Amino acid sequence: MANLNSALVLYFGALILYVVSIFFDSPNLELFSRPIIIPSIYYFYFISVKGRVNLLFSVSILSFFIGEILYLISASDFLIPGLICFGIPYFIVVYFLCQDFLFYLKKKKYRINNLSFYIVLLLLFYLLYNVLSFINETSQLEFSIYIMYGILLFVMGIITFLIQFNFNNRTILFMVLMVTSFIVSDLFFIFSEKMKDVISLKLINVISQQSSYFLFVCYFIYRTRFKIYGKSDFLKMN
């Protein structure tokens, strides 16, 4: 328990310092705090699963970390490599979500006659279309990567909210919060890149991005905890 608490204290402490560094435009404080965030939250995951780590999940966290370091060195010089590093975990997340979707499908058929689901579907499509229209002045390669991001986030949103509208447990709660954070952080990343002088956009991007790592870890901890203790219904809330 002490190790869990120390990992979370380290994570939230580094996150607060990182946010402060953005607000006061302090590169030295950012250089100190930003590299701590992902290792501390992975340490929290490592302790929570008692060292029985998942390889794909670990690869996704490592890829996030490499992307963060590349952007810490120079976001402009490493824009494309950074986008690729941040994109790799999204493929892994979609894979996990598809597994969850199939798991719940074995329990009962999904009902899609919920009006809220269609509202979310239209909202996701609207955001995808308008954001891609907003960034049409980028290079062909960069624009193609943004299209990939949009498709991945759209698929994440559809699967997540389809599950959420039919089932309800703690794993799904973190799933919804995680995907929402991914969407918000990527939207405000684009906004902050286009309007660099607006610090509030950068702050929202930073807070949602760094929070998404915590939510991703929590989602995966609850997703796998029941497997560790030999319970087949590993997605059921205890």
Go through 176-202 and write b for each residue having 16 or more CB atoms within 10 A of its CB, e for each that does not: bbbbbbbbbbbbbbbbbbeeeeeeebb
| Predicted confidence (pLDDT) per residue in 35-68, tens digit | 999 999 999 999 998 888 999 999 999 999 999 9
Q: What is the pLDDT averaged over residues 77-100? A: 95
Range from 40-44, 157-161, 169-173, 193-197 carrying the lowest mean pLDDT: 193-197
Q: What is the pLDDT averaged over residues 153-165? A: 91
For residue 137, the model assigns a pLDDT of 64
Range from 33-47, 90-104, 222-236 carrying the lowest mean pLDDT: 222-236
| Predicted confidence (pLDDT) per residue in 76-86, tens digit | 899 999 999 99
Q: What is the pLDDT averaged over residues 119-128? A: 83
For residue 139, the model assigns a pLDDT of 82
Percent of the chain exceeding pLDDT 70 equals: 92
For residue 226, the model assigns a pLDDT of 52
- When comparing pLDDT for 161 and 3, which is higher? 161
For residue 2, the model assigns a pLDDT of 63
Cβ-based neighbours of 129, under 8 Å, separated by 6 or more: none
Confidence of residue 189 (pLDDT cuts 50, 70, 90): very high
Rounded Cα gap, residues 151 and 129, in angstroms: 11
Q: What is the pLDDT averaged over residues 149-157? A: 93
- pLDDT, the chain, mean: 88
- When comparing pLDDT for 227 and 174, which is higher? 174
Instruction: Give the tokens for residue 179.
Output: 């995907």
Rounded Cα gap, residues 72 and 2, in angstroms: 31
Kind and range of the H or E run holding 46: helix 27-48
- When comparing pLDDT for 63 and 194, which is higher? 63
Rounded Cα gap, residues 225 and 208, in angstroms: 25
For residue 86, the model assigns a pLDDT of 97
Confidence of residue 195 (pLDDT cuts 50, 70, 90): confident
pLDDT over 90 (residue 234) = no
Confidence of residue 1 (pLDDT cuts 50, 70, 90): low
Helix (H/G/I), strand (E/B), else coil: 51: coil
